[in-house]
């Protein structure tokens, strides 16, 4: 702890700083420090203070990023936090308070955000003490450096601890090239957060970040890595209820038709099938027990989706000639097996890299579909291929859950051999309908139809696995709706200078 300074009008010597630390440890308000300092990260760009703070906290909370960083390691890095705002924009302008909150939620964390204009110093102190006494939550502050007589303007950094006797907060400054971790009076930190950002007219604040109560989805996820999420989220959350209210719908099929026939053209980039990806590190034909278990769970969720009453209605609609021809993006049934394998490999590579395929130019070659067997086990489908991105070539295997549903002829084409390759459009669209908020259906005027729809989308009697999958999607939709509001109305807390 030698080198930590006390920011006010003086700088304490090393012995005094160490004594502050020891006092705080003895009083039990440094519990959150150890996980944070073990995952300390110095921002790699002058405007990456928000990304560095968030990545540090997410790793301290051991939240799974849902993809690999490098090699076999699942680890958050600034380069992976490109949801809600592109890294190119953040590098120039920093990231807003609202978008950092959204980014934390999209990354799987539970977040409570407070602006000083809607909070108090006593509430702030309460949360600082709460997180300092636990390693299950952490506080990230957005403040103005000028209050501390430091160089720079807006800045983000986590709080690493609290000294109750002197009412001091320990800031773990992610601009480590400028300032070491330092103690500041909590009242002074509040003053720094209570500054109005001149570019937005909004106050800064703090956010409380903790582990989610529920694990992320296993089969489906919503993507905000492409601009399609803005139009698709608005369509699902705003336009669909209006369409159902203004259209005379008299049966379930008509309801489904109203929703799906007007889907944005880039909808396919919005909801993704979560592929399990592993690197081709050896030529063995055995899957690890963990991989087998995850695949079994995925297949069970997929089976549960297909056993719902809503799925049967969606499948009937998707099997009709009109709906089958409405958009080839929603049904890959007429594609050849090599084309499907290449697309699956590229999707796996996308998840590993945490980027949009369309923006990075992944190219897949030498794809194949194999059935791996273990003694006494059912055959397991694995799509293998080499993915090329620029001059980098990487072999990957993607575990594929089986889909037992039959494939019907589509627009006069022959049925392909892709049955079992991946969840079909009916599975994805059923899951998305189940995830829509309850008020979506309230505009339906036919009472009997409204009762039937609500029965079909109710998850009350669903198996636990499917309930959790749907609740995960609902939570993601809710987050994206809030993020859209932040993007449009609350461009806050920019920190272009560390």
- Termini Cα distance of the chain: 22
Helix (H) or strand (E) run with residue 156 in it: strand 154-163
Residues 294 and 64: beta-carbon distance below 8 Å: no
In Å, what is the CA distance from 311 to each residue of 48, 55, 270, 406?
A: 44, 38, 20, 13
Sign for the pseudo-dihedral over CA of 470, 471, 472, 478: positive
In Å, what is the CA distance from 42 to each residue of 155, 175, 361, 498?
A: 13, 6, 30, 11
Q: What are the structure tokens assigned to 366, written together?
A: 């030498």
Cβ of 218: how many Cβ atoms within 10 Å? 19
In Å, what is the CA distance from 185 to each residue of 6, 152, 284, 337?
A: 9, 19, 59, 64
Whether 49 sits among the annotated catalytic residues: the reply is yes
- The closest alpha carbon to 1, from 221, 163, 213, belongs to 163
Helix (H, G, I), strand (E, B) or coil at 15: helix
Q: What are the structure tokens assigned to 380, written together?
A: 């397991």
Sign for the pseudo-dihedral over CA of 269, 271, 275, 279: positive
Angle at 81 between CA 42 and CA 431, to 5 degrees: 155
Set 77, 131, 144, 173: catalytic member: 173
- The closest alpha carbon to 161, from 127, 126, 121, 132, belongs to 132
Whether 182 sits among the annotated catalytic residues: the reply is no
Q: How many residues does the chain have?
A: 498
Set 155, 182, 313, 422: catalytic member: 155
Q: What are the structure tokens assigned to 294, written together?
A: 């995850």
Q: What are the structure tokens assigned to 327, written together?
A: 């958009």
Set 49, 106, 137, 483: catalytic member: 49
In order, the DSSP letters of 366-424 are EEEEEEE--TTPPPEEEEEEEEEETTEEEEEEEEE---------BTTBPP-S-TTSS--
In order, the DSSP letters of 237-284 are IIIHHHHHHHS---SHHHHHHHHHTT--TTGGGTEEE--EEEE--S--
- The closest alpha carbon to 125, from 135, 136, 114, belongs to 114
In Å, what is the CA distance from 131 to each residue of 62, 127, 212, 259, 471?
A: 16, 6, 15, 44, 27
Helix (H, G, I), strand (E, B) or coil at 173: coil
Catalytic residue positions?
49, 155, 173
């Amino acid at each position: 702890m030698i080198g930590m300074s006390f920011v006010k009008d003086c700088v304490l010597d090393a012995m005094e700083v160490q004594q502050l630390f020891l006092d705080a440890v003895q009083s039990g308000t440094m519990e959150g420090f150890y996980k944070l300092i073990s995952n300390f990260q110095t921002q790699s760009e002058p405007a990456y203070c928000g990304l560095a703070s968030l990545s540090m906290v997410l790793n301290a909370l051991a939240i799974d990023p849902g993809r690999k960083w490098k090699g076999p390691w699942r680890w958050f890095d600034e380069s992976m936090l490109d949801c809600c705002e592109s890294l190119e924009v953040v590098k120039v302008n920093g990231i807003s308070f609202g978008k950092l909150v959204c980014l934390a939620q999209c990354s799987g964390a539970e977040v409570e955000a407070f602006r000083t204009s809607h909070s108090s110093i006593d509430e702030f102190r309460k949360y600082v003490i709460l997180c300092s006494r636990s390693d299950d939550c952490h506080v990230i502050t957005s403040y103005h450096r000028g209050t501390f007589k430091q160089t720079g303007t807006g800045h983000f950094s986590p709080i690493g601890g609290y000294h109750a006797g002197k009412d001091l907060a320990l800031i773990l400054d992610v601009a480590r090239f400028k300032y070491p971790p330092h103690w500041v009076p909590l009242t002074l930190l509040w003053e720094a957060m209570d500054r109005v950002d001149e570019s937005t007219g909004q106050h800064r604040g703090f956010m409380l970040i903790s582990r989610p109560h529920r694990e992320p989805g296993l089969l489906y996820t919503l993507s905000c890595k492409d601009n399609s999420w803005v139009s698709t989220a608005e369509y699902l959350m705003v336009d669909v209820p209006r369409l159902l209210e203004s259209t005379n719908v008299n049966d379930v099929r008509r309801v489904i038709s109203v929703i799906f026939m007007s889907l944005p053209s880039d909808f396919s980039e919005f909801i993704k099938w979560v592929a399990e990806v592993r690197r081709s590190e050896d030529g063995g034909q055995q899957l690890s027990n963990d991989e087998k278990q995850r695949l079994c769970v995925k297949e069970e969720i997929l089976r549960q989706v297909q056993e719902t009453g809503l799925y049967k209605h969606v499948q009937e609609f998707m099997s009709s000639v009109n709906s089958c021809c409405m958009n080839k993006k929603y049904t890959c049934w007429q594609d050849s097996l090599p084309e499907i394998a290449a697309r699956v490999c590229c999707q796996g590579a996308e998840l590993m890299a945490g980027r949009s395929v369309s923006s990075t130019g992944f190219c897949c070659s030498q794809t194949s579909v194999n059935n791996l067997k273990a003694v006494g086990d059912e055959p397991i489908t694995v799509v293998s291929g080499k993915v090329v991105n620029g001059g980098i070539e990487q072999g990957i295997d993607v575990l594929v859950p089986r889909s037992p549903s039959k494939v019907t002829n589509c627009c006069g084409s022959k049925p392909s051999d892709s049955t079992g390759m991946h969840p079909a459009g009916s599975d994805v669209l059923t899951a998305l309908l189940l995830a829509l908020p309850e008020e979506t259906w309230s505009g339906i005027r036919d009472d009997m139809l409204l009762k039937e729809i609500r029965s079909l989308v109710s998850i009350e009697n669903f198996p636990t696995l499917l309930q959790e999958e749907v609740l995960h999607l609902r939570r993601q939709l809710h987050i994206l709706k809030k993020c859209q509001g932040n993007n449009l109305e609350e461009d806050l807390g920019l920190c272009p200078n560390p």
